[in-house]
Amino acid sequence: MPALLHLDSSASPLDRSVSRRLTARFALAWQARHPDADYRHRDLAADPVPLVGAGYASLGIRVERRAAPVPLPDVHTLATTPDEQHEWSLTHPLITELHAADTLLLGVPMYNFTVPAALKAWIDRITFPGAHTGRLTATRVVVVTARGGGYGPGTPREPFDFQTPYLRAWFTEHLGIPDAHLSFVHAELTRAADIPALTPYRALATTSLDSARTTLTTLAGA
């Protein structure tokens, strides 16, 4: 049965967040197509994933030093302190939740040229040594970004987009997601309606948002 894991990371509520509204659009269309499927939503801003601590690091190093891969259900046996046990209790459910999904949907506003800290905390915690080896090759990932300015190809700010290359490298090179299974949908110039300096770009902002909506509807039906 299909399963969708939907992650939002915007600090803004739904009525003020472009990324939240766009991911909601995908999720509703996907659920309409799969009415009996498993759907899980995690709000990383409202319910933050704890930052990794010393126990996470020491347990991860111990796992990496093993000659053979350690199955996820056995990692807890290597935890030697209460701190390590606690860190693994926070980590294992998130990894299991990701593995159970065949589609991962991320809402990612651009904060200071990159991803929100709320999303980075989730990324750091689930990137446990050996956790995803060979498991995510069939997973489909849809990344929905919202940028207040314009960072598309050919724009002056294109070199400052550290969002897309970072997430592409993490998903493809680190998690093993095939590039063909990774889709980026960008809403550009989302602040054109309220920042005076961006007023000349309001039409482009509307076009970008309309394109993102259309693309997400198509992807949800794929």
Q: Which residues are annotated as a binding site for FMN?
A: 10, 17-19, 110-113
Q: Please state whether beta strands 103-109 and 140-146 pair in parallel, antiparallel, or not at all (unpaired).
A: parallel
The answer to whether 142 and 185 are in contact (CB under 8 A) is yes
The answer to whether 92 and 75 are in contact (CB under 8 A) is yes
Phi, psi of 50 (to 5 degrees): -60, 140
Q: Which residues are annotated as a binding site?
A: 10, 17-19, 110-113
The sign of the torsion formed by the CA atoms of 55, 87, 126, 110 equals negative
Q: How far apart are CA 73 and CA 84, in angstroms?
A: 15
The answer to whether 51 and 178 are in contact (CB under 8 A) is no
